[in-house]
């Protein structure tokens, strides 16, 4: 489990890279130099578009809409208000808001003021928000950060940790500010945003992205994806996920439109279905898990014609299915890149005729990016030799906020692999790769214990560090286990399993509640295995390869098992067992606690409709997630359906006096 593949070690003599291979794999492959306005900021590019199309629609949310001129004026007012509060270059502003037109106004206003925005997802636990706010304060000499939020989210932020600005409650004070433009305080070498990602030490780490790097990426993305067309883009994914950066800025420099979607609190993570059914956008950027959710929707009349897929392994079969499901020509792109390389640094356009391997290739470097597969001695590897992937170029982050040690560890200056003597700044990704005999780059997983769950990068060490803060947990290890969701071509979902040794018996509920205080929902393990002792290697470290496979016998139950009793419960339990790949499910077991996630929700609802013959809704599963609760809902639906059928059959009716 979580096998770590070997990188070519320093002591291993590499066969010399042949001149032809060196030119093809190192020099020509990285000939990506392209012009872009490196001395300008994303705000400058937005202002250019305002001048070009002031009356075009820039953003829409339901019936509300702003033109480019109106969005520019609102964000000018936001910048002026922030400036009146002392916000300017060097300040860091947390944006803790749900999706809305106002959140885009806030982000543009922060950037115009010359400040840096830090997006935090609305579902982030209060403890994690506090950790991020403390880190910002510590990294700015004790300065209290400003937090922009909404009234319904305000209680999640401690007033002791931030100066809180409640945007919807105080919007009047913004509208009193002048709407006229004033020179933007943003600079090309200033930090545009900081995104906090999972950290192996137990606390999130902030990745600092400068305006220059953002402009390099968005300038390239606009050319590749928009191709000069003003497209409609859906803003539906988390602002704290750098995948969303493309959707936020690419339309605003190309005359496109942002269409805002807010997820229904009762149907978590299913907003992608609303986007597809609404049929109001031309292009989507999403994860393979999102794309798999819409595969079975009726796409014959969709206006979608472009998909940008990123975040995790993208199976060819999925790309092929989407291509077949849409009657008009469709472009599907696989985009690879860590947050530290500004969203994306590699791209491949899917070719239904040429792409025959199990996974869609990650492709070739983006504009002004360099991709190198190196040994531990930073020497280029040849075909069929495993090395570590390093990234260079204009998209590299400044570093990690307030973490000079980690910045030095992950951002290295080494000899340029292309010429062997000049110096080049490189980001050490931790991703393993090798060149095939055909000259194609093959991604081989991680060299450490970082994993992707639903497209989100997670450091298992952060989960372990939090688990060890539980007073009775003495040792622990968290591993990621791929679980097939269908046939081999459909791939697998990743489930987290926590192994632990404790000084007294602990319930699953206790463990989950402790983790949920600071960890995102995607970071909370699905299964827990209590051990008497951890298996150790000869040097005394936890031997992850010797951890027992999680089975029905070893996984700690969330509560006492009670077998399904009614026929509906038994049928439902069997259906869930098949979907979730577990041996037995009791009547009080929770679909989501057993590892049910978005794709499986869609499949479960579709199968329940087919088996029970009633119109089960997504909301039913979210609101009644146990076998017993959902079986009761289904029985009620079937009773109503049978009653209607009897009523329409023309048989005798029973009159009831009211």
415 exposure class (CB count in 10 Å sphere: 0-12, 13-18, 19+):
middle
pLDDT score of 650 = 54
pLDDT number for residue 648: 61
Mean pLDDT of the chain: 89
Which pLDDT score is estimated for 452?
A: 77
Q: Is 475 helix (H, G, I), strand (E, B) or coil?
A: strand
DSSP letter for each residue of 267-319: STT-HHHHHHHHT--SEEEE-HHHHHHHTTS--TT----EEEEESS--BHHHH
Band (17; pLDDT cuts 50, 70, 90): low
pLDDT band at 2 (very low <50, low <70, confident <90, very high): very low
Looking at the predicted structure, is the pLDDT value of residue 652 above 70?
Answer: no
Compute φ and ψ for 411, nearest 5 degrees: -105, 105
Give the pLDDT band (50/70/90) at residue 657. Answer: very low
Residue 15 clears pLDDT 60, i.e. is over it: no
Using CA atoms, how far apart are residues 522 and 263, in angstroms rounded to an integer? 17
CATH number of 68-186: 3.40.50.980
With pLDDT > 90 as the criterion, what percentage of the chain qualifies?
62
What does the pLDDT look like over 180-199, one tens digit per residue? 988 899 999 999 999 999 88
- Look at residue 13 in the predicted model and tell me its pLDDT: 44
Q: What is the pLDDT of residues 340-360, one digit of tens each?
A: 999 999 999 999 999 988 889
Q: Tell me, what's the pLDDT at 7? A: 53
CATH number of 560-648: 1.10.1200.10
The dihedral built from the CA positions of residue 403, 134, 132 and 447, taken in this order, carries a sign that is positive
Contact (Cβ atoms closer than 8 angstroms) between residue 505 and residue 532: no
537 pLDDT band, cuts 50/70/90, is confident
Residue 503 burial (C-beta neighbours within 10 Å; 0-12, 13-18, 19+): exposed
pLDDT mean over 310-336: 93
Cβ-contact 137, 94 below 8 angstroms? no
Q: Please compute the mean of the pLDDT values over residues 531-553 and round it to a whole number.
A: 82
Report pLDDT digits (tens) over 282-300: 999 998 888 988 988 899 9
Annotated domain spans of the chain: 19-30+368-448, 68-186, 560-648
Class of domain 19-30+368-448: mainly beta
Highest-confidence segment of 68-82, 191-205, 463-477: 68-82
Over residues 575-603, mean pLDDT: 86
- The pLDDT assigned to 245 comes to 97
Residue 622's closest CA among 271, 280, 283? Answer: 271
User: Is pLDDT of 419 > 90?
Assistant: no
Query: What residues contact 121, with CB distance under 8 A and at least 6 apart?
Result: 238, 239, 240, 241, 520
- Could you report the per-residue pLDDT of 449-461, keeping only the tens digit for each? 778 777 677 888 8
Same-fold call for 68-186 versus 560-648: no
Range scoring the smallest mean pLDDT among 151-155, 169-173, 397-401, 539-543: 539-543
Q: Which residue has the higher pLDDT, 601 or 48?
A: 48
Q: Which of 574, 579, 535, 527 is nearest to 553 (CA)?
A: 527
Antiparallel, parallel or unpaired: β 423-435 and 411-415: antiparallel
């Amino acid at each position: 489990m979580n096998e770590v593949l070997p990188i070519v070690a320093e002591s291993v003599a590499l066969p010399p890279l042949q001149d032809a291979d060196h030119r093809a794999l190192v020099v020509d492959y990285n000939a990506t130099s392209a012009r872009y306005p490196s001395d300008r900021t994303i705000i400058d590019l937005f202002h250019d578009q305002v001048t070009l199309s002031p009356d075009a629609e820039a953003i829409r949310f339901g019936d509300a809409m702003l033109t480019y001129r109106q969005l520019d004026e609102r964000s000018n007012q936001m910048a002026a208000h922030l400036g009146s509060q002392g916000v300017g270059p060097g300040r860091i502003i947390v944006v803790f808001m749900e999706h809305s037109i106002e959140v885009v106004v806030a982000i543009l206003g922060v950037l115009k003021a010359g400040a840096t925005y830090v997006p935090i997802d609305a579902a982030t636990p209060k403890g994690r928000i506090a950790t991020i706010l403390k880190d910002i304060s510590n990294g700015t000499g004790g300065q209290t950060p400003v937090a922009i939020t909404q009234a319904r989210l305000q209680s999640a932020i401690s007033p002791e940790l931030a100066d809180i600005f409640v945007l919807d409650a105080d919007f009047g004070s913004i509208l009193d500010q002048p709407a006229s433009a004033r020179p933007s305080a943003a600079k090309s070498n200033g930090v545009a945003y900081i995104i906090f990602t999972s950290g192996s030490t137990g606390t999130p780490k902030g990745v600092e992205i400068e305006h220059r790097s953002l402009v390099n990426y968005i300038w390239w993305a606009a050319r590749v994806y928009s191709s000069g067309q003003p497209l409609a883009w859906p803003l539906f994914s988390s602002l704290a996920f750098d995948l969303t950066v493309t959707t936020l800025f690419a339309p605003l420099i190309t005359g496109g439109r942002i269409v805002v979607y807010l997820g229904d609190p009762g149907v978590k993570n299913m907003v992608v279905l609303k986007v597809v059914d609404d049929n109001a956008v031309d292009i989507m950027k999403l994860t393979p898990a999102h794309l798999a959710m819409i595969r079975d929707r009726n796409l014959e009349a969709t206006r979608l014609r472009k998909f940008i897929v990123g975040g995790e392994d993208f199976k060819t079969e999925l790309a092929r299915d989407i291509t077949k499901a849409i009657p008009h020509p469709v472009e599907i792109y696989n985009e690879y890149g860590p947050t530290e390389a500004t969203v994306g640094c590699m791209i491949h356009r899917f070719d239904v005729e040429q792409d025959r391997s199990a996974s869609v290739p990650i492709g070739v470097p983006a504009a002004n990016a360099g991709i190198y597969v190196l040994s531990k001695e930073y020497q280029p590897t040849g075909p069929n030799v495993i090395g570590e992937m390093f990234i260079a170029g204009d998209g590299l982050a400044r570093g990690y906020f307030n973490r000079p040690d980690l910045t030095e560890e992950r951002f290295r200056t080494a000899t340029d692999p292309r010429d062997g003597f000049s110096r080049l700044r490189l980001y050490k990704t931790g991703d393993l790769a090798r060149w095939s005999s055909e000259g194609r780059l093959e991604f081989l997983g991680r060299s450490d214990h970082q994993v992707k769950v639903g497209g989100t990068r997670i450091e298992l060490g952060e989960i372990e560090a939090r688990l060890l803060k539980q007073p009775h947990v003495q040792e622990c290890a968290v591993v990621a286990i791929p679980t097939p969701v269908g046939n081999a071509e459909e791939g697998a979902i990743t489930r987290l399993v926590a192994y632990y040794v404790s000084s007294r018996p602990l319930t699953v509920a206790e463990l989950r509640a402790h983790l949920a205080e600071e960890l995102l929902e995607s970071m909370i393990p699905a299964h827990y295995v209590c051990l008497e002792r951890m298996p150790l290697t000869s040097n005394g470290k936890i031997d992850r390869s010797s951890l027992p496979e999680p089975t029905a016998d070893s996984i700690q139950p969330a509560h006492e098992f009670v077998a399904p009793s009614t026929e509906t419960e038994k049928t439902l339990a069997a259906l869930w067992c098949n979907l979730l790949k577990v041996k037995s499910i009791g009547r009080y077991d929770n679909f989501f606690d057993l590892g049910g996630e978005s794709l499986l929700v869609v499949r479960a609802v579709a199968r329940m409709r087919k088996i029970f013959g009633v119109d089960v809704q997504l909301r039913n599963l979210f609101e009644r997630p146990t076998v017993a609760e959902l079986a009761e809902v289904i029985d009620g639906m079937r009773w109503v359906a049978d009653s209607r059928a009897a009523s329409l059959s023309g048989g005798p009716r029973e009159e009831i006096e009211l």
